[in-house]
Amino acid sequence: MTSLHVRGLVVRHRDSVAVDDVNVTLGSGEQLVVLGSSGAGKTTLLHALLGAGPRVQGDVRVGALDPYDPTQRRQVRRSTGIVLQGGDLVTRMRARTAAVSGCSHLFGGSGWWALTRGRTPPALKDRLTELADQQGVTHLLSRRVGELSGGERQRVGLLRALLGSPGLLLADEPTAGLDPALGAAAVDALLAHSQSAGNPTLVVTTHDPAVAARFDRVLALRAGRVVHDGPALSADQIGELYARKVH
């Protein structure tokens, strides 16, 4: 639903350039996978879409909003759903609470009160029930996150990201730590959701060429620079992408 524009973006972590002059435009409802080896700048790029990370220069627009503008950042983040590596949920929490924890701006006073008693905030109840059913995680909601397997956590993480009906859906290495079957299921869920209700724009990062092959558009990063933007890569291009730098 939300279009993305990144122009001449440079992000620097201490001494090293993590994202170097990246340009990418994504139409509303499009699906993009960002492929690259560890340290290629994938996560940094994803965070920059939400105005996180030290930007040196360049422009980022999410819809009409600038995530690096402090007055607009919160609005960008609230209309975006993000699935982080391993879910990044509080392990002591019940999955039900963890799932709503990304939508605190929708709680209201009654929602916070409901949370103290381990209940779902009324404003999110119907949406949570519907989504949990759709994702097949209803039976997990009353358990603690720490008791869930990696695949189950990933599904609760996706539930959390989807709960606010985001126009933009981001996923950072959604298959990390999962076996191939579970990883494929996680990617299926992301793709299916971005094509269904609301049709959110989808950006997924991965280091796995097999995951990238599921997408029509691949943005390949190497040392922070875009080396490919288009349909799936050939075997030679993939080999080049992962080759160790030789000086």
- Site residues (vs another protein, CB under 8 A): 47, 50, 52, 73-78, 80, 82, 84, 86, 88-90, 92-93, 101-105, 112, 160
Cβ proximity to another protein: between 74 and 139 the closer is 74
Cβ proximity to another protein: between 112 and 180 the closer is 112
Cβ proximity to another protein: between 167 and 209 the closer is 167
Alpha-carbon distances, residue 225 vs 12, 66, 167, 221 (angstroms): 13, 22, 27, 5
Cβ proximity to another protein: between 93 and 227 the closer is 93
CA 219/CA 41 separation, integer angstroms: 12
Cβ proximity to another protein: between 53 and 209 the closer is 53
CA 107/CA 145 separation, integer angstroms: 21
Closest approach, Cβ 235 to another protein, in A, equals 35
Closest approach, Cβ 89 to another protein, in A, equals 6
Cβ proximity to another protein: between 5 and 94 the closer is 94
Closest approach, Cβ 80 to another protein, in A, equals 8
- Name which of 205, 202, 168, 7 is nearest 75 in CA terms: 168
3-state SS, residue 3: coil
Cβ proximity to another protein: between 101 and 165 the closer is 101
* Diameter of the chain measured on Cα atoms: 61
| Residues 111/122, Cβ–Cβ less than 8 Å | yes
Q: Which residue has the tokens 């539930």?
A: 159
Closest approach, Cβ 12 to another protein, in A, equals 19
CA 229/CA 219 separation, integer angstroms: 4
Closest approach, Cβ 216 to another protein, in A, equals 27
Closest approach, Cβ 95 to another protein, in A, equals 13
DSSP letter at 161 equals: H
| Residues 218/33, Cβ–Cβ less than 8 Å | yes
Strand partners, 65: 62
Q: Kindly report the number of other CB atoms within 10 A of residue 30's CB atom.
A: 17
Closest approach, Cβ 183 to another protein, in A, equals 20
